Amino acid sequence: MKPLTRQQIVDVIEGRGHAPRVPMLYSTWMNAAPFGGDVARYQNWISSKVCDVNFCCLGMPGLFEGPADDPEYRWAFGDKKEKPNLGLDSQIVLDSWEEAEEFYATFPDGEYPGLVPAIQENGRYILVNWWYTFFERHWSLRGMENALFDFFDYPEEVHRLYSRLTEYYLRLMERARDEIGADGFFISDDLGSQKAPLVSPYIFQEFLKPYYIRLVEGAHKLGVHIWLHTCGNVTPFMEDFIEIGFDVIHPIQKRAMDAEQIAKEYGNRICILAGFDVQRVIPYGTEEDVRSEVRWLIDTFRRDEGRFLLTMGNGATEDWKVNCLDALYDVYTSMDPKNSVVFLVLSIIFNITEAFFLFFNRNKDGGMPPRKQEPVYHDPVYEQPQEEPWNHSGPDYL
């Protein structure tokens, strides 16, 4: 199976038609964790898998430590050090806004020589990545609790930070476009929990949306796309993401968002990079569960005009099963051009005969069964009761 071309990915993103198969970007979220940390085994495995983008990561500043060639290329300032035995969202670089001037005096700029990595041109779409954009960078500097209070207690400081970050990011994009011909930028801001957004619509509109707009407008002026990764239930922000102009949204998280609703309401207005379920199916499912889930995602999100790509919902962890990862690619084997004639014939036969099978297997009292059902998985570790949808009206809460 050959990778798709740059133009095929561009056409899918921009809604000008689907490619010969659904574009897959599984490997952009893979690492050696499912292989017991064995990097050589992982590299051998991933080298045989297709990825439809040329993916590279920018050399972003460390939080407390800079690179060997420029130890001051970091977010921390002065003698700030990482605190042991604290979670990521409790590490604090900027203890108080009274330290703001000292912080901005050493703020990273976009001229670091190691920022843009060299890549090998191979005809694929060049997707350049950095994580932690506005909200994530904010809480990584201030700690989650402080960051949430900042919106109310220090709104001017939040705007100042986000504006400075925007200027920095615009320079990063300009350099990556000029130096390696970037086609798109994949950024992150996790804005949702499993059940609801982490911030209110008021916070989003006041503090995040204006800077997303500046970032997206800057990208489009450069002739490149912007892809947004945002975990959790962000359904209330979908209209905003489209209005802002994001080109691709990821992951439409399973069991956090209603995939069929999102596909129906937004699938022809923004390209969806659908994230395969990493909470249940990969760690707890079978190979056939994986194949069924891939087919269900394709049935749910695929559009004649494109606007659908497929990847993992998040980064690899140790409980992912390698045989299930192999099964991710099985569905595509049947879609390979070498098998296209057989696949076409079988699909025609199935479409003709399916109605008869449905009719003769119907429940005479209950009517015809549905043609498509979402796979359901049960595992002994992770079960969540269903709750009523979140009521997100009103601006006066977090």
pLDDT score for 342: 47
Overall average pLDDT of the 213-230 stretch: 98
Give the 3-state secondary structure percentages of the chain, helix then strand then coil, rounded to 5.
Answer: 45, 10, 45
Residues 226-247 have a mean pLDDT of 98
282-331 confidence digits (pLDDT tens):
999 999 999 999 999 999 999 999 999 999 999 999 999 999 999 998 87
Residue 279: name the closest of 304, 302, 251, 310 by CA. 251
Say if 92 falls within a structural domain.
Answer: no
Residue of 140, 236, 146 whose CA lies nearest to 188: 140
Phi, psi of 163 (to 5 degrees): -65, -40
Residues of the domain holding 348: 6-72+192-360
Residue 325 counted as domain residue: yes
Q: What is the pLDDT of residue 330?
A: 83
Residue 392 tokens, joined: 């997100």
> In this predicted model, what pLDDT tens digit does every residue of 87-117 receive, in sequence order?
999 999 999 999 999 999 999 999 999 999 9
- Average pLDDT over the chain reads 88
Q: Does residue 147 lie within any of the structural domains?
A: no
Residue 354 lies in a domain: yes
The verdict on residue 123 lying in a domain is no
Asked if residue 63 is part of any domain, the answer here is yes
Spatial distance between the Cα atoms of 191 and 347, rounded to a whole number of angstroms = 40
Asked if residue 77 is part of any domain, the answer here is no
CB atoms within 10 A of CB 7: 12
Alpha-helical (H) ranges within 181-316 are 201-203, 209-221, 238-244, 259-266, 281-284, 287-301
| Partners of residue 53 on adjacent β-strands | 125
> CA angle, corner 283, sides to 280 and 285, nearest 5?
70
Whether 388 is in a domain gets the answer: no
Tell me what pLDDT residue 382 has: 42
Q: Quick one: what percent of the chain has pLDDT higher than 70?
A: 83
Nearest 10 degrees: Cα torsion 193, 128, 275, 41: -110
Q: Is 310 helix (H, G, I), strand (E, B) or coil?
A: strand
For residue 57, the 8-state DSSP code is: E
Res. 36 pLDDT band, cuts 50 70 90: very high
> What residues contact residue 385 under an 8 Å CB cut-off, 6+ apart?
none
Q: With helix as H, strand as E and coil as C, how does 204-235 read? A: HHHHHHHHHHHHHHHHHHCCCEEEEECCCCCH
Burial of 100 (0-12, 13-18, 19+ CB in 10 A): middle
Mean pLDDT of 229-235: 97
- Structure-model confidence comparison of residues 357 and 22, the more confident one: 22
pLDDT confidence bin for 377, thresholds 50/70/90? low
How far apart are the C-alpha atoms of 292 and 277, rounded to whole Å? 12
Beta partners for 309?
273
CA distance 353 to 60: 55
pLDDT of residue 391: 40
Number of domains in the chain: 1
